[in-house]
Every structure is written in structure tokens, then in C-alpha cells.
Amino acid sequence: MAVGDTTWYSNLLAASGQGLPPARAGLGLCSRTAEFDLSLAGLDLDQDDLIAMIPMPKGATVVDLVVSIPTDGLDDASALSWTVGDADSTDDWDRYITSQTTIGRNAGGVARLNNPAGVGYKFTADGVICIAITASATTTGSVGKVYMTVLYTMDA
């Protein structure tokens, strides 16, 4: 994973990259949900930072993805913007959700997969779905948790 100055980790991941589910074909529809706690000490979301949310196994095909931002948002003012993408063999930082400038700016909300490139994307290597900060927060939010849920198949 690269892009950023700092990478923050969800409850499913540790700095060592733990948390990858077993890659087994024939599992049908699967889901994973991760949470990221905004009250972490020292949290400062700057441009090019990543929040590594959900580890994905090679062969997983994405069906849908949802991000829930808490009421107070990721930014206590109105500067932050973010996308959702992945790091695998072909990193793409907005593969699932393109630039969000309303949800997260001093307000919560829900963002869903909105980029056609992400529907049916099949991981060609183990990877991680991440929130990429594309414009720095004025003052990073510090209340609540960010949740991400991904639906995927392991049919092949």
C-alpha cells in the first residue's frame, strides 16, 4: 500500500496486515464489515492519507460497498474530501466511491459504490479496500466510528 503520508488501520487490520479471510472458491456471497474509531489518539487526516479498512483475498469479486460516516463527520469544518479504492496488483484509489465532498464535512451520511469500475472488480492479488483522503481535514473529527461493509463473491 502506498499513496499516503500516513496509513491508519481499521479493527480488521493491524500494521502487520493481519485479518485476511481464507481465499476459498465456492463460498458464494460473502460480506465483511470494518470499523474505524475516530477517537484514536493523534488522528489527523491529511491529504494522501489512507484508512485501510477491509482486507480482501485474491479472487474476491466485489458486488457492493457501503461507507457510513458518523454524525459529526470526518472533518469538523468543510475542507475534507475522500474516495474509496483499493491496493492490490492494480491500485486504484477511487475504484468504488468517487470524490465525496458533502458526506464527511461536518456531517455524517452514507455513501455507496458509485463507480462502475468497482462493480464486479475481481482481486488479482490479496489486497485492502481503503478510504483515501484527497483533501485534508481542517480539524479531524474525533467522535464516533466509520463503518464500511463490502459484499463480494468467491465463486471462482
DSSP state of 12: T
Q: State the Cα–Cα distance between residues 143 and 58, nearest whole angstrom.
A: 34
pLDDT in tens, 44-64: 999 999 999 999 999 999 999
pLDDT for 23 beyond 80 = no
pLDDT of residue 155: 74
Q: State the Cα–Cα distance between residues 92 and 56, nearest whole angstrom.
A: 14
Domains held by the chain: number: 1
Range of the domain at 64: 7-14+28-153
**And the C-alpha cell for 128?**
485492502
DSSP-derived 3-state class of residue 118:
helix
pLDDT in tens, 97-136: 999 998 988 888 999 999 999 999 999 999 999 999 999 9
| Residue whose cell numbers read 470499523 | 35
In a domain, 59, yes or no: yes
CB 127 within 8 A of CB 21: no
In a domain, 20, yes or no: no
CATH number of the structural domain spanning residue 127: 2.60.120
CB 89 within 8 A of CB 125: yes
